[in-house]
Structure 1
Amino acid sequence: MQPVQPDYSIYRGLVSDLLAGNEQLPSLPSITFEIRNALEQSDLSMVELSKLLAKDPALSAILLKYASSPLIGLQTPPQTLLEVVRLLGMNQVERITMVHSIKSLFSVHSFKHKRLFVEAWRRMALKASLSIFIAKRVGKVVPDQVLMAALLSEVGTLAVLSAFKKTDETPELPVYVALCREYAKSLGVITLKNWQVDSQYLNVIHNIGNWSGENKGPINLIDILNLGLYHSIKLSHAKNDLPPITELTAYQKLEPPDNSIVAGGLTLVMTNVQEIRMVAKSLF
């Protein structure tokens, strides 16, 4: 017999405790702050940074995997952390460090909890890979910055999971999605402020998913992320309530041939879905 699930108001209460500060939001690992502080030093050498990175074996493995991924496309991938740092550069290493930290700091409390986390991360990875692909094709925005922003924009959806520390408190997927719609942006802003990240990422959280908002000027980071989010929903859910892509502010900034459309999405995306999913898998 299936256990009776608590009603939605109980779940809302658990998440509200996070917002009110009655429960602790996830904080970055100390090694992440150590790396970020080191990168702020103008005289930091690549050798010193590689030694610091080596203190975290899991992060080291992620960096080596990323440098060998389709995102980089080298025939002979780097074999050491020093080679990785030389290849990627210090700014990109910092971004990947943050990505790794985001994935590792959310504790999994049960199989059901893990299933929600895996689903959330898979969706984040797809959105990030789509955004990176679009950025590379369209130009104007640095792809590495897009990776960081795409994942940080979803920190709130993972923070929602922090409210459920007992098996009987963990909601089913539809309820979790509803809670994310209600609370993820607020939790994301609070979490990123605690992490002291650049204010541009807070701006991303406020504007992600705002298809027709006032976003003037040439195509920018928010536009790229909204195009990535739009296509991630389109590719993941056959039934959705997405507006026609032509109504998106981000789409209206694209120029030929990048604004070509097929099957309701950008041609540059819809004809390269397999490659994009490979990139998403490398992030997963």
Structure 2
Amino acid sequence: MRNSSLSLFLGVAATALVLTPTTAVAQTFDFGRVENLPVLPIESDSVLSFFGDIANNEGYIAFRNADPTAPDAGHIGFRPGTDNARYYTVGPGRSPDPATRGTRSATLEGVTGLPNFFNYLKENDIPLSSIGFDFIPTSDRDVTQTWNLGEDKLGQDWFGSPDSPIEEVIFQANPDDVEYFITVGTTKIINFGYSPFYFVSANDNPGTQVGNFNIFWGNPTPAFKAPGLDPLASGLADAFLEDVAAGGGFIQLFSIDQPELSDFSFSVSQGFEIVTLSYPIDIRIVGSTTSVPESSSVLGLFMLGALGTVARMTSQKLKQ
């Protein structure tokens, strides 16, 4: 549907542009510990960096059937002190708990590279805070048709062993049932091709959920312009796609986190046990055949200062 109010929305949400050298705290993980997943994260110097804060009803939802005998109750892994795995994952816009629902999973906080996209934001006074990311079932699908563990079989849908703190999981869905995308305001401007989500958790601090690595990523996939956009949103989508084409033609999602207590929220609703987590998520521009770095230790969140001056905008709460 055409959104004729988008230009007005962005006009009142304008904020100043600032160029600053920015340094993010790097989190490192040895991807040599991952043994069973078919794809690993790919490094890139063209990245959109988002963050979803549960305090703002953003983040991502992991949930399971509260009945421990149900097929979607989640498996019990090998790691000591852990309970059943969550069987489903979805953005907060489709959370089974109305109290945790939000309009997006994450908000754009930084741009590295992507000169066409960044210049379009600058020239049209579009603040970073108006750009969002989300992943959900398509509008006519039930929330249980989101990404899930399928048959939840060891050696097929998840991998683990009693002598390792690492668990590897593959969340999949029917490609026609789910979508993930970029928005400006509330308007979807970019859709991405389907991908499973590969999730790795490292229980290196047994007995607590705090400080353990939660990492997930997808396959490199193409990006597509959403239909029916007004001229301003259409130009922004075109600028992004120009940068994707120049950077290799594909995108890859990548998230790495060592959550603290403030990054978790737990609830029970509609027969599901639900956890909501804060959500750092990068959209990396990559080539489909780009090699994974030879080093087994990969920078999870880039040390942006080492990449030079990064184009950023100051965040500002949107005026009503």
TM over 0.5: no
Question: Between Structure 1 and Structure 2, which shows a larger proportion of helix residues?
Answer: 1
Question: Between Structure 1 and Structure 2, which shows a larger proportion of strand residues?
Answer: 2
TM-score if structure 2 supplies the norm length?
A: 0.24
